[in-house]
Amino acid sequence: MAETASSGHDRNGGATGAPIPVVRARNIVKSFGATRAVRGVSLDIPAGSIVGLVGENGAGKSTLARVIAGVYPPDEGVLEIAGEARHLRDPHEGLRAGVSLMAQEIALVPGATVEENVLLGSLPRRGPLLDRKAMRRRYRDLAELTQFDIDPDARVSRLRVADQQKVEIMRALSHDALLVVMDEPAAALTADEVEHLHHSIREMSRRGTAVLLISHFLEEVLELTSRVGIMRDGELVREGPTSDETVETLVAAMVGRALATEYHETKEQATGPVCLSVRGLTRPGVLKDISFDVRHGEILGLAGLIGAGRTEIARCIYGADERAAGDVTIDGAEANASHPAEAIAKGIFMVPESRNEEGLIPGSSVVDNLTISSLRKYSRGGWLDRSAMRARASELAGEVDLRFQTVDQHVGTLSGGNQQKILFGRAREVAPKVLIVDEPTRGVDIAAKRAIHARLAELAAEGMAILFISSEIEEILGVCSRLLVIHRGQVHAEFRAPYRQEDVIAAFFGQSVSAR
């Protein structure tokens, strides 16, 4: 990228033809255990340029961004900032070197004001005290730059998610960095707010600040950037002028691999009566008018990019998140739930995305984890019948092929695959009509993954309606006979097996394809 002219001036205001890159990454490698997330990536980012970085979930984009910002040290390779080799040990060193990161995860101080959060790390002082007048002047400059209208004295904890995202953006801009890395900055913003964001990015570029924009919104990348890099499986597979690309060429380069044919055979479509019916499910800023049906014996997939709204749909159905509108019925009977316990009572059970944080009771036994959702069955005069619980736990363990020593064994001593089987055993105990599974095979080995797939097929054959969420494209195409692609909180497309993987992935990015 170094050969590409920026806005015409270097950081010091001198005329330029081909500026020295403000950031130069050379042969960057980063691994986490046995997983090599970034594989020998080299990237140049000139001053004042807007460079896009795209790829599927897990392609390595965010990891590379965090290496550039100092969050992760590279295992191999060299990072140069303003022509100097740097060995960043943390994001604070990254900031001092001139790189500001706006990550996907919002990380604000809830009890502080908007103004304090925006200027955190660069608070002006007069002696030992904060210079409140200077703070307000600086805040107003940033508000003018971004065109975001947020009360500087408001507590961040009281802001909606979209406004917290704006505070993150303003804070990233407050450091006068050489490079601002933006990882999915538009994810929680409305269309009008996105326009303000784009104005801010262009204004930063005009002032000489470089921007590395990571976005799943390909139209946004094509509109804003001068160059774009495409990552796949940890590698930078192509990089060049954005003018040479279209949405179709970007998607083709992101996929760029042979299809897993074993996942694309024709599957028999469910013909049973409708079990779960969802109509008009809405959560402001997150979901808009979601409607679909799942038949008895059907495994319906919810596909899409991380942040598209898949998990939010599941959590609203399960009563874990509030919704503003929408109705849920099971076999024609009202099944709206405001709490998971209410959903379970009405015939819905969910295996959550994070088994440790939301599924398991980490400090308890196998028997307690298997029976926690049905304790009333074992209550005898105000006491729990532990013998009956142990007996039932042993039965459930056999049904889900749980590998364990004793039902009193601490659940934390089990492997990831066996911990996941605990949740399926609990679902078996509850015997719901509708089972929701969110990333059910994340962090398990291949044998456990196959066992979970087989178990889901068995439950569907027994007549259960299953809603299946996975970020692994091959998995969701392999397990589901029908799938809905969720894009920006809406149902964008519907597909039935056999699938064309490239069509499904194109729909992930909001492209219109012929649903099949």
Give the pair of three-digit tokens for residue 232. 């796949």
- The Cα 205–Cα 201 span in angstroms is 6
Contact between 196 and 116 (Cβ < 8 Å): no
Place of tokens 């409708």: 274
Lowest mean pLDDT across 19-23, 321-325, 381-385, 511-515: 511-515
pLDDT confidence band for 263 (50 / 70 / 90): very low
For residue 359, pLDDT over 70 is answered with no
What would the mean pLDDT of 366-382 be, rounded to a whole number? 77
Q: Which residue has the higher pLDDT, 207 or 297?
A: 297
The whole-number pLDDT of residue 107 equals 75
Contact between 149 and 171 (Cβ < 8 Å): no
For residue 477, pLDDT over 80 is answered with yes
Establish whether domains 21-106+178-255 and 258-347+432-516 are of one fold.
Answer: yes
The whole-number pLDDT of residue 187 equals 66
Q: What is the pTM of this model?
A: 0.60
For residue 497, pLDDT over 80 is answered with yes
The whole-number pLDDT of residue 108 equals 83
What would the mean pLDDT of 382-411 be, rounded to a whole number? 79
pLDDT confidence band for 190 (50 / 70 / 90): low
pLDDT confidence band for 408 (50 / 70 / 90): confident
Task: Give 288's DSSP letter.
Answer: E
Of 197, 153, 193, which is closest to residue 172 (Cα–Cα)? 197
**Report for 295-304, 372-381, 447-456, 506-515: range of highest mean pLDDT:** 295-304
The fold of 258-347+432-516 is Rossmann fold (3.40.50)
Lowest mean pLDDT across 8-12, 85-89, 292-296: 8-12
- The Cα 286–Cα 487 span in angstroms is 11
**Report for 183-187, 428-432, 487-491: range of highest mean pLDDT:** 487-491
pLDDT confidence band for 298 (50 / 70 / 90): very high
H or E element: which one contains 424? helix 416-430
- The Cα 426–Cα 349 span in angstroms is 9
- The Cα 221–Cα 64 span in angstroms is 18
The whole-number pLDDT of residue 313 equals 95
What would the mean pLDDT of 240-253 be, rounded to a whole number? 90
Give the CA distances from residue 12 to residues 15, 122, 209, 268, in Å, rounded to whole numbers and listed in that order: 9, 22, 11, 65
The whole-number pLDDT of residue 15 equals 39
- The Cα 397–Cα 115 span in angstroms is 54
The whole-number pLDDT of residue 261 equals 37
3-state secondary structure of 163: helix
pLDDT confidence band for 445 (50 / 70 / 90): low
**Report for 90-99, 102-111, 211-220, 275-284: range of highest mean pLDDT:** 275-284
- The Cα 133–Cα 112 span in angstroms is 17
Give the pair of three-digit tokens for residue 264. 């694309």
For residue 110, pLDDT over 80 is answered with yes
Classify burial at 386, counting beta carbons within 10 Å of its beta carbon; exposed 0-12, middle 13-18, buried 19 or more. middle
The whole-number pLDDT of residue 155 equals 92
For residue 55, pLDDT over 60 is answered with yes
H or E element: which one contains 281? strand 274-283
Lowest mean pLDDT across 181-185, 446-450, 459-463, 471-475: 446-450
Q: Which residues contact 452 (CB under 8 A, 6 or more apart)?
A: 417, 420, 421, 424, 440, 441, 444
pLDDT tens digits, one per residue of 300-356: 999 988 778 999 999 999 998 989 999 999 999 999 999 988 998 899 998 887 665
Residue 498, preceding peptide bond in cis (omega within 30° of 0): yes
Domain boundaries, the chain: 21-106+178-255, 258-347+432-516, 357-431
Lowest mean pLDDT across 7-21, 157-171, 394-408, 490-504: 7-21
What would the mean pLDDT of 84-94 be, rounded to a whole number? 88
- The Cα 112–Cα 104 span in angstroms is 20
pLDDT confidence band for 49 (50 / 70 / 90): very high
For residue 360, pLDDT over 70 is answered with yes
The whole-number pLDDT of residue 16 equals 41
Q: Which residue has the higher pLDDT, 449 or 445?
A: 449
pLDDT tens digits, one per residue of 22-32: 999 999 999 98
Angle at 428 between CA 424 and CA 433, to 5 degrees: 110
Across all residues in the chain, what is the average pLDDT?
83
The fold of 21-106+178-255 is Rossmann fold (3.40.50)
For residue 291, pLDDT over 90 is answered with yes
DSSP β-bridge partners for residue 181: 101, 212
**Report for 126-140, 162-176, 358-372: range of highest mean pLDDT:** 126-140
Half-sphere exposure at residue 148, Cβ-oriented, CA atoms within 13 angstroms: 30
